[in-house]
Amino acid sequence: MSRQGYVNSSVQEPPLDYSFRSIHVIQDLVSEEPRSGLRPLKHSKSGKSVTQSLWLNNNVLSDLRDFNQVVSQLLEHPENLAWIDLSFNDLTSIDPVLTTFFNLSVLYLHGNSIQRLGEVNKLAVLPRLRSLTLHGNPIEEEKGYSKVWSPAQCPALWVSLPISLHPKAQIGTMSPAIALAFLPLVVTLLVRYRHYFRLLVRTILLRSLRDCLSGLQIEERAFSYVLTHALPGDPDHILTTLDHWSSHCEYLSHMGPVKGQILMRLVEEKAPACVLELGTYCGYSTLLIARVLSPGSRLLTVERDPRTAAVAEKLIRLAGFDERTVELIVGSSEEVIPCLRAQHQLSRTDLVLLAHRPRYYLRDLQLLEAHALLPAGATVLADHVLFPGAPRFLQYAKSCGRYRCRLHHTGILDFPAIKDGIAQLTYAGPG
C-alpha cells in the first residue's frame, strides 16, 4: 500500500483506546490491553496498530516520559499520529514530545493541571493542529488566558480554536457547515458510549424527575416497594425484591447479586469477628454481609446522609438484624473513623468494605492505618475501583508495599458492557 493510501485508510480506523485504565506511567501501555470498540482494531503484519488516533484520557499520567518509544511499539507509523487525547490526567506542562508529531490535528489537554500560559506557545510549530482543548486547567485563571494565541503565531489553529481562546470572541459565529462536519463525530461518540449515556439517563435524569414529582428519594421509594412485596425477617427475599425493583422499576445503583457473591464468599472464607462498612447506602451490601456473619460477629456500617441512613436502618431491622449484630453510624467516614475505638469499642476490624465515594477511598484507608484499626491479615474490599474509578487508591495499594492486591473484574449492574471491579487488599502490617 502506498503511503498516501495508508494515511487515508488509517484515518478511518478506530482509535487505540487506553482510557479509564488507571495508567500512571506511559510504559504501562505496552502491557495494557486497549479498550474494545464497535469495530476491531486493524493491525499490520508486524502486529502494530495502523490507526492515527491514540486516546489516553481519564488516567493518572503526570508526565510523558518515553512517549516516543512506547508509541513506536504500538503504532506502525507513529509519525502519522493525528489525534491524541490526554484529557483528565495530571499533566502540569505540555511536553515537547507532542511537538514532534507534525501531522497532529486534534489534541485534547482539558482537565489537567497545566499552569503556565507559556506552555501553549510550544504548539505553534504544529502546522496541521486544528483543534486544541485546554479548559479545566489552572491556566484558565491566569490573566490573559483568552489572548494566548494570535493569528500570526498559528493561523491554521486560530481559525478553529474554542471561543474561550479567541480575543473578543462572539458567541454564535459557527457556520452550519462547520457544525455539520462535527455531526459524524457526535454520532460516533453517542454510539460508542451509548451504555454510559443510558446509565446517565437512568441514574441522573429520570431519578431527578421522579424525586421532584414524588417528593421522595429513590431509596425511600424502594423501601416502600420492599414493605409491600418482601417477607419481613427474610434477608434473602428482601435482597431479591430490591434486585427486582432495580431491574424493573427504577435503577437503584446498588451492589447487585454478581458482586454480592464475591462479597459473601469472602466473608464466609475469612469469618471476620468484626466488619466495618463505609457507605451503607440503602443497606443492600449490609444485608449481604450480615446474613453470612459467624455467630457473635459484629458489623459496623457508616452512612453520611441521614435521610438515606434512616431508610437503611428500617431495612436492616426489617430483615431481622438487631443493633448487637449490625450497628448503623450516621456521619462522614472522615469524622467517624478516628472515633471508632473510643465511642464504638472497635479496637480492630478484620474486614473493611469501601462502598461510599471512590475519591475518599485512599483518605479513609490511610486513616484506618493511622489509627491502627487494621491488624495484619485484614482484608479491605473496595467497590467501583474501575468505574467511576479510584486510580490513586489502587496506585497506593500496589506501590506502598503493605498490601497484596487482587482485582475481581465485574460489570455495572444491568450494564455489563461498562467494566468495573472490586479490589481485594490483604494487609501485611505497617512494615
Q: Which of 10-14, 28-32, 405-409 has the lowest mean pLDDT?
A: 10-14
Q: Are strands 415-427 and 379-382 parallel, antiparallel or unpaired?
A: antiparallel
Q: Which of 2-11, 24-33, 107-116, 408-417 has the lowest mean pLDDT?
A: 2-11
Mean pLDDT of 67-89: 92
pLDDT value for 35? 84
As to burial, measured by CB atoms within 10 angstroms (0-12 exposed, 13-18 middle, 19+ buried), residue 157 is buried
Residues 224-251: tens digit of each pLDDT: 999 999 999 999 999 999 999 999 999 9
All three cell numbers of 38 = 464497535
Mean pLDDT of 190-219: 89
User: Shortest CA distance to 320 belongs to which of 286, 349, 294?
Assistant: 286
Q: How confident is the model at residue 178 (pLDDT cuts 50, 70, 90)?
A: low
Cα-flanking dihedrals φ and ψ of residue 283, to 5°?
100, 5
pLDDT(164) > 70? no
pLDDT(9) > 70? no
Topology of domain 253-427, CATH: Rossmann fold (3.40.50)
pLDDT(324) > 70? yes
pLDDT(358) > 60? yes
pLDDT value for 38? 66
Report the SS3 class of residue 299: strand
Report the SS3 class of residue 11: helix
What gap in Å lies between CA 174 and CA 197, rounded to an integer? 26
Give the contacts of 410 (CB within 8 A, at least 6 positions apart): 258, 259, 262, 419, 420, 421, 422
Q: Is the dihedral of CA 166, 170, 173, 179 positive or negative?
A: positive
Q: What is the largest CA-CA distance in the chain?
A: 77
Residues 94-106: tens digit of each pLDDT: 999 999 999 998 8
pLDDT(149) > 60? no
Q: Does domain 3-174 have CATH number 3.40.640.10?
A: no
Q: Which residues does residue 426 pair with via DSSP β-bridges, in sequence order?
A: 379, 404
Helices (H), ranges, 137-255: 155-160, 176-181, 183-192, 194-200, 206-214, 218-229, 235-248
pLDDT value for 3? 42
Instruction: Please name the amino acid found at residue 184.
Output: P
All three cell numbers of 25 = 506511567
pLDDT(158) > 60? no
Q: How confident is the model at residue 19 (pLDDT cuts 50, 70, 90)?
A: confident
Per the listing, cell 458492557 goes with 417
Question: Mean pLDDT of all residues in the chain?
Answer: 86
Instruction: Please name the amino acid found at residue 368.
Output: L
pLDDT value for 177? 63
pLDDT value for 425? 97
Cβ atoms < 10 Å from Cβ of 429: 10
Q: Which of 30-39, 295-304, 347-356, 372-381 has the lowest mean pLDDT?
A: 30-39
Q: Is the dihedral of CA 403, 406, 411, 417 positive or negative?
A: positive
Helix axes 218-229, 235-248, angle to 10 degrees: 130
pLDDT value for 261? 95
Helix axes 218-229, 306-318, angle to 10 degrees: 10
Rg of the chain over CA atoms, in angstroms? 25
What gap in Å lies between CA 431 and CA 424, rounded to an integer? 19
Residues 326-336: tens digit of each pLDDT: 999 999 999 99
What gap in Å lies between CA 255 and CA 253, rounded to an integer? 7
pLDDT value for 83? 92
All three cell numbers of 390 = 479510584
Among residues of the chain, what percentage have pLDDT more than 90?
A: 62
What gap in Å lies between CA 324 and CA 189, rounded to an integer? 51
Is the pTM higher than 0.85? no
Q: Where are the domains of the chain?
A: 3-174, 253-427
pLDDT(383) > 70? yes
Give the contacts of 183 (CB within 8 A, at least 6 positions apart): none
What gap in Å lies between CA 22 and CA 165, rounded to an integer? 30
Mean pLDDT of 387-397: 92
pLDDT value for 347? 93
The Cα-based distances of 85 to 105, 418, 419 in angstroms read 11, 20, 21
pLDDT value for 136? 79
Q: Are strands 83-85 and 403-412 parallel, antiparallel or unpaired?
A: unpaired
Size (the chain), residues: 431
Mean pLDDT of 57-79: 92
User: Which of the given ranges, 115-124, 153-162, 170-179, 290-299, has the highest pLDDT on average?
Assistant: 290-299
Strand order in the sheet with 415-427: 326-330, 298-303, 274-278, 351-354, 379-382, 415-427, 403-412
Q: How confident is the model at residue 283 (pLDDT cuts 50, 70, 90)?
A: very high
